[in-house]
Amino acid sequence: MRRVAVKIAYLGEDYSGSQYQPDFKTVVGDVIADLKRISEGKAAKWFNIKIAGRTDKGVNALNNVVVFNTTFDNDDTLLKALNSVSRRIFYRMIATVDEKFNPRHASERVYKYTLPSEGVDFTKIKECTKLFIDEHDFIRFCKNDGKSTIVKLSSIETVFEDDKIIIMFRSQYFLRNMIRKIVAAILAVGKGERTINDIKEALNGKPINFGLARADALTLVDVIYDYIRFKIPSKNYYNNRINQERFSNCLKTDFFDSL
């Protein structure tokens, strides 16, 4: 037996969140089901699964990290087996870790939020993002669960791409709903519904509710560990699934373009 960390990707629309919930479809629930299919009937507890990023319902991930026990010795064989049985999760990269490794203790997390550019002042958007960089009390920009609300945002980058505005967030960790609440505030200013001063006052503790931005536009891009090197498999074991999904999306696009 050994313990491995695997980077996974998934669309959030398929799930009620990443954390295991017995009566709901979740990311960890699907990982457990996939592992059981390739592991000769081992019980769920045997895998001792842990996950790095706790994504909410609807939030996507390109490189979340799950850690579990396995009897597979070969990395490629394990990733091939998991991708062959999985319907919703893409198992991308792998690293062997020790038993004490906690995936929650990452060096950095990277998130991307995508906004439509129509009707939004891009200059104001960029000006707003600068207010959140560095250390602040984000109590007005999170769902407070009793933890400290002091967080240091390493960087926020904003780019205009085609008809979209893409905002990249980097920090060692984020609070629950933090990015979606920040984006809701930024978007409100960009549309002229709120002022930059409103954001400044909220960062200083004034109880202002900017709302919550949609979940499906948020993607966990990566979870980074400075001390771990993940191995990319020798072959893409989910390329056929990607092509099928792309074709399905093309059919939907064609339908909407025809309206």
Please return the burial class of 59, using the count of CB atoms within 10 Å of its CB with bins 0-12, 13-18 and 19+. Answer: buried
At residue 194, the pLDDT reads: 96
Other CB atoms within a 10 A radius of the CB of residue 58 amount to 18
Interval 196-252: pLDDT, tens:
999 999 999 999 999 999 999 999 999 999 999 999 998 889 999 999 999 999 999
pLDDT band at 89 (very low <50, low <70, confident <90, very high): very high
Residues of the chain with CATH 3.30.70.660: 108-220
pLDDT at 63 over 90: yes
Backbone angles phi, psi at 96, to 5 degrees: -80, 135
Give CA–CA dist 156/186, Å, rounded: 12
What does the mean pLDDT of the chain come to? Answer: 95
Output the CATH code of domain 108-220: 3.30.70.660
**DSSP string over 33-63:** HHHHHHTTT--HHHH--EES--PPTT-EEEE
Q: Is the pLDDT of residue 110 over 90?
A: yes
pLDDT (0 to 100) of residue 254 = 96
- Nearest Cα to 229, choosing from 3, 7, 81? 7
CB atoms under 10 Å from CB of 91, counted, come to: 23
d(CA 222, CA 46): 27
pTM of the model: 0.94
The predicted structure's pLDDT at residue 235: 85
Q: How far apart are CA 224 and CA 110, in angstroms?
A: 8
Question: Which of 30, 56, 75, 222 does the annotation list as catalytic?
Answer: 56
Cα torsion angle, 140, 110, 237, 104, sign:
negative
Determine the pLDDT at residue 162. 84
- The CATH architecture to which 2-105 belongs is 2-Layer Sandwich (3.30)
**HSE-up of residue 73 (Cα within 13 Å, Cβ side):** 0
Q: Is 56 a catalytic residue?
A: yes
Residue 23: pLDDT above 90?
Answer: no
pLDDT of residue 234: 87
- Which regions of the chain carry the CATH code 3.30.70.580? 2-105
What DSSP assignment string belongs to 125-157? HHHHHHHHSEEEE-GGGS---SS--EEEEEEEE
Asked if the model's pLDDT at residue 20 lies above 90, the reply is no
Residue 141 pLDDT > 90: yes
